[in-house]
């Protein structure tokens, strides 16, 4: 059964001309996105060192009269992601009384809304087309009573690392049975290791799920959601899950490793060895008359934790920058882009005319960002190198469907990295730059659940990257996620202060200052709020 895919646009007719063609320089002004590696003195930038919103550059002024002063950007609404098991595997709100108290506390702090994953494995657990939304309806009603908006994350991926994980929520059992019966529905690497976090995009439009294709299953899920939550659509946003961890990417590295602060920088593995991906790769190679290019992914990438310069593919001057490397990476990233476009197209059709805004998330893969080949991004499906902007095509695709872009890394600093080749700040600058160029609304997120002054200052600093945006676009920040520590006295004090400052437009025109010993306004007793924390033990 061959995969039906739209191959990348073929190069000129002869393979000889293709061999001579260099990768297109999609990046406009690459120096803005790939600055020289900062020195140790510049890495420790302080929030107090810059209070203006203008950008540097030192270029010649081309106009005689000064430009009008920039309008103050609107304040940034803050959302809080609820616990992953806010609705348990049985479809009911977990810890209901504590949840109601927590939502009231968030509303009192000035939070605009909550984000919640609507797990495929919970909603459609009983069988194909059998949807149980009762727990999520209950949660939406609780949020509405508190005046909170809801950002619904349609989660078509698994939660947790396995049955031993206390937050384990797998794909629906009937989907897992199909994956067990037909292992090629799972992403597969060159070692034949299968990954069941998310169905392989190679079979997107094939009827492999009891007569339905994955895209049909996702579409039916969205339509059922729209019809069920009709009364709430005015206060709901929809983030469409597009891959492992809900992100538009391949599972080149297990999600739990990406979420662990200080985890070793991995190169990742190309996920193109299931039969559907192999069929697509082979077909594209045959179109070019280069059948040998369709026999599989690169075999000289080294081990996942190997030094880049010891690999033939990723090292400087390696195979990634050869005709074969460019062919493979264009196909690999093109398949991911096509997957995202299919989902955006479905979401746009389902929610058209409802007033619901849609969004998709791009992963903040910052490992090895200061290398030429960016291997960790390549294996994740982002064809982003020193010579090519891999995020602009994604932003352009989102723009075609008026979808917002969600990305993390807003709390991470290069100064805290464990690997000198990593750059969360550089990755974020490039993602935000792509969003601004395409006039996309942006939803920022933190990568690590921290509430110390350093982390919160970094969020505000990172949010300023989106200042000066075009009128009509919006920016919001999503704190991930609500847990016991959020309601501890000192953390709650910092958090409420942070929410008010993010919501105040003046924050983005003046420097942030967390003063020690300052009293923080709250409409309810801090002691009462702290007592709610016991619900998350």
Model pLDDT for residues 179-226, shown as the tens digit of each residue:
999 999 999 999 999 999 999 999 999 999 999 999 999 999 999 999
Domain-located, residue 484: yes
Residue 534 has pLDDT above 80, yes or no: no
Residue 193 falls inside a structural domain: yes
Q: Are residues 513 and 479 in contact, defined by beta-carbon separation less than 8 angstroms?
A: no
Instruction: Give percent of the chain with pLDDT exceeding 90.
Output: 73
Rounded to an integer, the average pLDDT of 485-495 is 97
Three-state SS for 325-342 is HHHHHHHHHHHHHHHHHH
Query: Is 291 domain-assigned?
Result: no
Q: What is the pLDDT of residue 456?
A: 97
Per-residue confidence (pLDDT) for residue 42, from 0 to 100: 38
Q: Which two tokens stand for residue 195?
A: 């990954």
Q: In this structure, are residues 118 and 153 in contact, taking their beta carbons and an 8 Å threshold? A: yes
Residue 505 is predicted with a pLDDT of 73
The pLDDT, as a whole number, for residue 255 is 77
Summarised one tens digit per residue, pLDDT across range 70-96 is 343 468 999 999 999 999 999 999 999
pLDDT on residue 471: 54
The answer as to whether 83 is a domain residue is: yes
Active-site choice (117, 247, 266, 330): 247
Say what the pLDDT of residue 261 is. 63
Percent of the chain scored above 70 by pLDDT?
77
Q: Is there a catalytic annotation at residue 256? A: no
pLDDT for residue 272: 98
Host H or E run for residue 480: strand 475-480
Strand runs labelled E in 167-235: 186-188, 194-199
Q: Is the residue at 476 inside a domain? A: yes
Q: Is residue 297 part of a domain?
A: no
Question: What is the reported pLDDT for 305?
Answer: 75
266 tagged catalytic: no
Residue 322 falls within a domain, yes or no?
no
Is the pLDDT reported for residue 235 higher than 90?
A: yes
**At residue 509, does pLDDT exceed 90?**
no
**Mean pLDDT of the region 376-394:** 98
State mean pLDDT over 433-437: 97
What would the pLDDT profile of 37-79 be if each residue is shown by its tens digit? 444 433 333 333 333 333 333 333 333 333 443 343 468 999 9
What is the distance between the alpha carbons of residues 147 and 140, in angstroms, rounded to a whole number? 10
Q: What is the pLDDT of residues 448-487, one digit of tens each?
A: 999 999 999 999 999 999 976 555 569 999 999 999 999 9
Q: Residue 213 is part of which domain span?
A: 71-272+330-536
| CA–CA separation, 172 and 160 (whole Å) | 14
For residue 17, being part of any structural domain is answered with no
pLDDT at 528 over 50: no
Give tens-digit pLDDT for 132-179.
999 999 999 999 999 999 999 999 999 999 999 999 999 999 999 999
CATH at 102: 3.20.20.80
Mean pLDDT of the region 278-291: 97
pTM over the 0.95 mark: no
Burial (CB < 10 A; 0-12, 13-18, 19+), residue 152, is buried
- List the Cα angle 197/202/203 in 5-degree steps: 90
Give the CA distances from residue 79 to residues 192, 387, 490, in Å, rounded to whole numbers and listed in that order.
40, 36, 20
Instruction: Give how many domains the chain has, as a whole number.
Output: 1
Is pLDDT of 513 > 70?
no
Q: Which of 237, 266, 269, 445 is catalytic?
A: 445
Average pLDDT over residues 282-291: 97
Cβ atoms 71, 505 nearer than 8 A: no
Q: State how far the Cα of 349 lies from the Cα of 358, in Å rounded to an integer.
A: 11
């Amino acid at each position: 059964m061959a995969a039906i895919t739209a191959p990348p646009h073929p190069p000129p007719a002869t393979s000889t001309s293709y061999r001579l063609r260099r990768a297109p320089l999609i990046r406009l002004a690459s120096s803005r996105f790939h600055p020289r590696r900062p020195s140790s003195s510049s890495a420790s930038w302080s929030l107090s060192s810059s209070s203006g919103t203008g950008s540097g550059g030192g270029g010649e002024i081309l106009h005689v009269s000064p430009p009008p002063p920039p309008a103050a950007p609107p304040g940034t609404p803050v959302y809080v992601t609820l616990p992953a098991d806010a609705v348990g595997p049985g479809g009911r709100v977990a810890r209901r009384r504590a949840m109601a108290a927590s939502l009231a506390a968030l509303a009192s702090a000035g939070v605009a809304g909550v984000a919640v994953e609507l797990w495929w494995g919970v909603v459609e657990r009983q069988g194909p087309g059998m949807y149980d939304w009762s727990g999520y309806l209950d949660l939406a009603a609780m949020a509405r009573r508190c005046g909170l908006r809801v950002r619904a994350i349609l989660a078509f991926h698994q939660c947790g690392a396995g049955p031993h994980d206390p937050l384990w929520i797998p794909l629906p059992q009937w989907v897992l049975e199909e994956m067990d019966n037909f292992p090629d529905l799972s992403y597969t690497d060159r070692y034949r290791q299968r990954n069941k976090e998310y169905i392989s995009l190679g079979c997107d439009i094939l009827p492999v799920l009891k007569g339905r294709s994955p895209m049909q299953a996702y579409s039916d899920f969205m339509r059922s959601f729209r019809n069920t939550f009709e009364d709430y659509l005015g206060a709901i946003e929809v983030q469409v899950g597009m891959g492992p961890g809900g992100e538009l990417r391949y599972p080149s590295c297990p999600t739990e490793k990406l979420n662990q602060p200080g985890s070793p920088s991995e190169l990742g593995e190309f996920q193109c060895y299931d039969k559907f991906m192999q069929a697509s790769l082979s077909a594209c190679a045959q179109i070019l008359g280069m059948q040998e290019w369709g026999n599989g992914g690169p075999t000289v990438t080294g081990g996942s934790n190997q030094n880049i310069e010891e690999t033939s593919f990723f090292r400087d001057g390696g195979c990634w920058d050869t005709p074969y490397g460019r062919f493979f990476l264009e196909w690999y990233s093109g398949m991911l882009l096509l997957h995202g476009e299919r989902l955006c197209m479905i979401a746009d059709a389902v929610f058209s005319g409802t007033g619901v805004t849609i969004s998709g998330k791009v992963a903040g893969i910052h490992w090895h960002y200061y290398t030429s080949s960016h291997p960790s991004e390549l294996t994740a499906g982002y064809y982003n190198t020193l010579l090519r902007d891999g995020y602009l095509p994604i932003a352009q695709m989102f723009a075609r469907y008026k979808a917002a872009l969600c990305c993390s890394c807003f709390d991470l600093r290069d100064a805290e990295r464990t690997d000198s080749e990593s750059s969360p700040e550089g990755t974020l600058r490039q993602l935000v730059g792509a969003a601004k160029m395409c006039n996309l609304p942006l939803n920022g997120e933190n990568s690590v659940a921290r509430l110390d002054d350093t982390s919160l200052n970094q969020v505000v600093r990172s949010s300023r990257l989106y200042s000066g945006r075009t009128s009509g676009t919006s920016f919001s920040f999503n704190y991930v996620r609500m847990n016991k520590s959020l309601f501890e006295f000192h953390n709650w004090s910092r958090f409420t202060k942070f929410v008010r400052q993010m919501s105040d437009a003046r924050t983005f025109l003046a420097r942030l200052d967390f003063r020690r010993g300052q009293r923080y306004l709250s409409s309810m007793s801090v002691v009462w709020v702290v007592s709610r924390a016991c619900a998350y033990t």
